[in-house]
Amino acid sequence: MSRQKIATKTDPAHTLVIGCGMIAREVLAVKQQFGLNHLDLTCLPAEFHFYPDRIAPAMDKAIGDARAEGYEHIVVGYADCGTGGHLDAVCEKHGVERLAGPHCFAFYQGNDRFMASGDADMLAFYMTDFLCRQFDAFFIRPLGLDRHPELIKDYFGNYEKLIYLAQTDDPELDSVAENAAKLLGLTYEKRATGYGDLTAFLRTANGPRP
């Protein structure tokens, strides 16, 4: 578990965000943008995106460890993320709050917007800034597509479009997403979402903050 901390030792006035490694950069960006210096950050491995059954047990341990370190205020930087309610059970056990929604693709757009577009996006393959940066590491090499491109249809044949949910305005990431759509044979769409519901969640973590 990687740790990115703001304070050199636990400050009882600080709130610890235990988040997914896939949103670490975005959490820190929101913190800097709004001067949320009371937030500390620790992350579970980003690869849990592929192993959602590992999230709840790891979060249970991470919260316990954080309590032992002296953190009184903790929030969970995950949506349900495929845990089937098991993460909610962990949050309830420890009395902590998590990000609302089924996954980051929903809260980046805003959960209300995601729900409203559910039918239209049913066959969409989503990418984020993180997934653009890690496209080769998370998709091409693990799926063997660099060695067996003929498998693309097997893995992605049921998708119709690739939707890039852009947290930032970065032409290089846009190019990665657009090229990925071409590679996978999908229609391309970009949505500039910013940080979506993540911003409000962090700004109000454990009560109103600056």
Instruction: Provide the angle, in degrees to the nearest 10, between the axes of the packed helices 55-69 and 86-94.
Output: 20
Q: What is the mean pLDDT of the chain?
A: 93
What's the pTM? Answer: 0.90
pLDDT band at 12; cut points 50, 70, 90: confident
For residues 21 and 118, what is the distance between their CA atoms, to the nearest angstrom? Answer: 26
Dump pLDDT digits (tens) for 78-117: 999 999 999 999 999 999 999 999 999 999 999 999 999 8
Retrieve residue 72's tokens.
Answer: 């009184």
Residue type, 173: L
**pLDDT the model gives residue 6:** 37
For residue 124, list its beta bridge partners.
Answer: 161
Q: Give the domain ranges of the chain.
A: 2-104+195-203, 111-192
Fold of 2-104+195-203: Rossmann fold (3.40.50)
Instruction: Spell out the alpha helix ranges (H) of the chain.
Output: 24-34, 55-69, 86-94, 104-109, 111-116, 129-133, 135, 152-156, 171-184, 197-203
